[in-house]
Structures are given as structure tokens and as C-alpha cells.
């Protein structure tokens, strides 16, 4: 195994790395099941061996992120995904049998799942381990070689990730690319056999345009505004508990964090009061609590403060729900509820990606569902209700990447569920068997045996036979 992998950071280097990986893939175009399993096993072991190094690096890159939180939101779901892939790999790789038309008999047909070749993965800064290694798991399970473009905002984590993939897999399987926006732009223009990008919708447009230069198949994992709908029957204390959990993990810097709340006007104040209680229990010293995660950098903090300033200037009431500490400290911002902000405000147009939470009210559930339907399709939707009828209405009426009922955020850690958006929140999916198929080409194979019935149907046409075809063709 070649273990000389280094992080490439120039245009010439990344083109050269892609060419070399493509040559490696052509020499071994269909890695055996055991070879793929060994890759996943080595990756699993390397992640466990480097656990403390990863947790320390994440702490440095974020400024403050508790080891316990990083383990929970990055390593636990990632290791679960690796174990799931190893457990089901043989089943996924097995060709599926298909039926053949009666006119083709005797024959047999299969769909054969072939590695695409070299897969590009572009990962973001908010979950730098899960969202870089997670796609790698699916691509390796499908038998591909991989080039990873890591976020420039996580240099310490990147160094550990590079060590992990270098020693677990080597440069015959994975190459790591680092660099600023220009390098990311060049990376997305490479003629990959498949490209997966995780990031903002605005950058997703650019990535898709770049990939189109080579007709590169693409999976976009974007985000947008994931609503949390509180039905009239919901248990408000339980809703507040799970809402705070989903919103405050990673300080709201999560693509599927609840972006805004829709609740009945009679529920609003009670829900907010319960949220205050939960926040006080989570973070006794407010933003000064050691378990409260920092925003990744000053740019993100200033962006969120800009949303607050614009909303306040427009007359929107913005409540700090964490009065037990300062509103802001060391790249930390307290959770604020924004009461009924106008649709024209930036906080209602952009994905928030931080501890701000617009709360909107409705008088009838149909009104709330119509509000969600009229907006870009979300990556996730959260529904809190005790009524099966409400669940069915959301299942049928709202097109979203996922629907979670009576909880938030936990869908990401389900190894047997696909993850992906729809419309403005993305296209395609990975995780689970769907991830294996994303990174595989479903090639149809038809094997003909013995004589062919079609020989009787060729020119010169025998009228007697074709009269029978004309009479009975709709039964064939």
C-alpha cells in the first residue's frame, strides 16, 4: 500500500493526482469485496486510534467545542455508517436479476454494480470529519478511488484527517486536497466520474456549473431553511426539549438544524418559556458555559449579528433566551428568538446556520402547511404532534429531504436511511444502500443463450408469422 499521500494545493498538482488515481482505478477497475472491506476496516481502526487527536483538533478549529459533543455528532454516526457498510457490503455488491422479454428467450439479465472510477468529495467546515469521511465510506464501499477537498477553515482537523486516510488507505485509494476558494473552484472543474459537494445553496450553483463542463454526475448536499412545525396537539415541554437539542448542537451550525418554528398562536409563549428552561439546564452560565460551542470564525459571528441588527431596525422583537450570561463572548452568540420577522429580511431568506430562531404563528394547521409548501423544498422537516392525521398530511403534502416526527436532528445518525435534499436543498443522496448506488454505475448485462426467436421476425418478412404478431403483440 502506497502511504506517501500529501495534501495537494495547486492546480497542476490536483490534475496530476487525478490522472494518477484514474490510472490506478483502470488497473483494478473492480476491487473485490474483501479488498473494499479491508479498506473500511483500516479506516475504522484509524479513526478510533486518532480519536483524541481529532477531538483536540476540532476544539482548536472551533475555538470551543466540547469533546463530548464532537464525539456525539461526528464520530458516533460515522463509525455506525462504517459498520453498516461492512455488514451489508456483500448484499449491495451482488448483481440483481431482472426479467427478459419473451421474444428474447432463452436469455438472462442482470444489473451489475460497477465502480464509477474516481470520485471527488468536497466537504464543509461545520462537520469536517463526518462530512468528509462519510462520503468516503460510501465511495470506498462502491469500489472507487477518491479525491477529497477539505475546508480551509479547519486546518488542524485537516492535518489529522490527512494522517488518518494516509495511513489507513494510502494514495492508491485517496488523495487529499487543501486550499482556498480558487483551489475549490478548480477542484470542481476536474473531470471526475462523480462529484459530491456539501455546502451552501449559493455555492452549489457554482459547483454545478463547473461540473457541467465535463458532464460530471453530481450529488449536491445543500441545506436551506428546515422548518419545525408544532401541531396544536404537541406536548410543548417535550417539543422545547428536542427543539433546543436540535438547534443548539454545534451552536446551530448544522445544515438540518431547525431554521424556523411554526406554532399555533396559543402555544407560542408557553413553548418559549419551556425553551428558556431547557437552555438554562443545558448551559448554566449561558454562552460562558464550557459546553457551548463557538461559531467557527468572526465572519460567521458578524453575519449573524448583521441579521439581528437588520431585524431590530425593522422593528422585530429579538429575545435573548439565555439571560444567565452575556449576549456574546469569544465568537459565541446567545440563542435569540425573533418574533414574526418579515419575509423580506435576510434572516428569513438565508439559511441561518447559527443560534437565531424565527418563531412564526398560525391559526390553522392548513395555513402552516401552505406556508411551507410555498417555499423552497427543505432538506429536513420536523413535526411535533400526537395526531396520526397530522403525520399523514405532512408525509403526503410536504416534499422534503427527510421528515422527522417528534424529534430533531437524529435522522443524520441513522445508518440505514439515505440522506439528501430535493430542489434547492440538493439533489441525490448518500448513506446506506442509496450511497452505494450513488457511487456505482448500474450496468445492465443481457446474456443470450441458444437459438433466437427473433430470427423468425427478420426480413424478408414471413407474412404468416407477422399476422400472428399483429394479432397477439399486446400479449407479449
- Say how far apart CA 334 and CA 354 lie, in whole Å: 10
Catalytic residue among 39, 154, 186, 255: 255
Q: Is 68 tagged catalytic?
A: no
Choose the catalytic residue: 175, 221, 278, 351: 221
**Is 318 designated active site?**
no
Task: Please state, in angstroms and rounded to a whole number, the distance separating the CA atoms of residues 181 and 325.
Answer: 37
Q: Are 421 and 101 in contact (CB under 8 A)?
A: no
Residue 75 CB neighbours (<10 A): 19
Give the whole-angstrom CA distance, residue 270 versus residue 273.
5
Q: How many other CB atoms sit within 10 Å of the CB of residue 262?
A: 21
- The Cβ of residue 61 has, within 10 Å, a number of other Cβ atoms equal to 20
Label the pairing between strands 440-448 and 107-115: antiparallel
Pairing of strands 118-122, 145-149: parallel
Q: Strand 336-339 relative to strand 356-362: parallel, antiparallel, unpaired?
A: parallel
Q: Where are any strands of DSSP class E within 265-392?
A: 318-320, 328-329, 332-333, 336-339, 356-362, 380-384
Give, as one character, the DSSP assignment of residue 75.
Answer: I
Dist CA 334 CA 323 (whole Å): 9
Q: Name the H helices within 169-267.
A: 181-188, 201-212, 236-248
**Are the C-beta atoms of residues 196 and 120 closer than 8 Å to each other?**
yes
Strands 332-333 and 328-329: antiparallel
Residues annotated catalytic, as ranges: 221, 255
Amino acid at each position: 500500500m502506497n502511504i506517501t499521500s500529501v495534501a495537494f494545493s495547486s492546480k497542476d498538482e490536483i490534475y496530476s493526482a487525478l490522472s494518477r488515481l484514474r490510472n490506478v482505478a483502470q488497473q483494478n477497475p473492480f476491487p473485490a469485496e474483501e479488498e473494499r472491506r479491508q479498506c473500511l476496516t483500516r479506516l475504522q481502526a484509524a479513526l478510533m486510534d486518532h480519536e483524541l487527536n481529532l477531538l483536540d483538533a476540532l476544539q482548536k478549529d472551533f475555538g470551543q467545542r466540547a469533546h463530548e459533543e464532537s464525539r456525539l455528532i461526528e464520530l458516533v454516526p460515522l463509525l455506525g455508517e462504517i459498520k453498516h457498510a461492512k455488514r451489508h457490503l456483500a448484499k449491495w455488491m451482488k448483481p440483481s436479476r431482472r426479467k427478459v422479454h419473451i421474444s428474447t428467450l432463452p436469455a438472462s439479465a442482470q444489473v451489475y454494480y460497477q465502480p464509477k472510477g474516481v470520485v471527488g468529495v468536497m466537504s464543509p467546515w461545520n462537520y469536517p470529519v463526518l462530512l468528509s469521511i462519510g462520503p468516503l465510506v460510501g465511495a470506498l464501499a462502491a469500489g472507487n478511488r477518491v479525491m477529497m477537498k477539505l475546508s480551509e477553515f479547519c486546518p488542524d482537523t485537516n492535518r489529522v484527517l490527512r494522517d488518518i486516510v494516509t495511513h489507513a488507505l494510502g494514495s492508491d485509494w485517496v488523495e487529499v486536497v487543501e486550499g482556498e476558494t480558487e483551489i475549490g473552484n478548480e477542484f470542481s472543474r476536474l473531470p471526475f466520474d462523480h462529484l459530491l459537494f456539501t455546502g451552501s445553496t449559493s455555492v452549489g450553483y457554482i459547483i454545478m456549473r463547473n461540473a457541467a463542463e465535463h458532464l460530471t454526475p453530481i450529488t449536491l448536499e445543500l441545506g436551506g431553511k428546515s422548518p419545525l412545525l408544532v401541531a396544536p396537539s404537541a406536548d410543548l415541554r417535550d417539543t422545547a426539549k428536542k427543539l433546543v437539542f436540535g438547534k443548539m448542537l454545534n451552536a446551530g451550525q448544522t445544515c438540518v438544524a431547525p431554521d424556523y418554528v411554526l406554532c399555533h398562536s396559543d402555544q407560542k409563549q408557553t413553548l418559549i418559556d419551556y425553551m428558556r428552561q431547557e437552555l438554562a439546564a443545558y448551559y448554566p452560565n449561558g454562552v460562558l458555559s464550557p459546553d457551548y460551542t463557538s461559531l467557527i470564525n468572526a465572519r460567521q459571528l458578524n453575519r449573524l449579528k448583521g441579521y439581528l441588527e437588520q431585524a431590530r431596525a425593522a422593528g422585530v422583537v429579538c429575545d435573548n433566551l439565555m439571560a444567565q450570561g452575556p449576549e456574546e463572548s469569544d465568537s459565541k452568540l446567545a440563542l435569540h428568538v425573533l418574533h414574526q420577522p418579515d419575509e423580506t429580511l435576510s434572516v428569513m431568506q438565508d439559511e441561518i446556520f447559527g443560534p437565531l430562531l424565527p418563531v412564526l404563528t398560525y391559526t390553522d394547521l392548513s395555513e402552516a402547511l401552505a406556508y411551507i409548501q410555498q417555499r423552497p423544498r427543505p432538506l429536513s422537516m420536523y413535526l411535533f404532534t400526537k395526531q396520526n392525521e397530522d403525520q399523514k398530511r405532512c408525509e403526503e403534502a410536504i416534499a422534503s429531504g427527510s421528515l422527522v416526527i417528534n424529534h430533531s436532528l437524529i435522522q443524520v445518525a441513522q445508518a440505514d436511511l439515505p440522506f439528501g435534499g430535493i430542489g434547492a436543498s440538493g439533489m441525490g443522496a448518500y448513506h446506506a444502500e442509496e450511497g452505494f448506488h450513488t457511487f456505482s454505475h448500474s450496468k445492465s448485462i443481457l446474456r443470450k443463450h441458444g437459438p433466437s426467436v427473433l430470427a423468425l421476425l427478420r426480413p424478408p418478412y414471413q407474412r404468416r408469422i407477422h399476422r400472428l404478431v399483429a394479432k397477439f403483440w399486446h400479449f407479449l
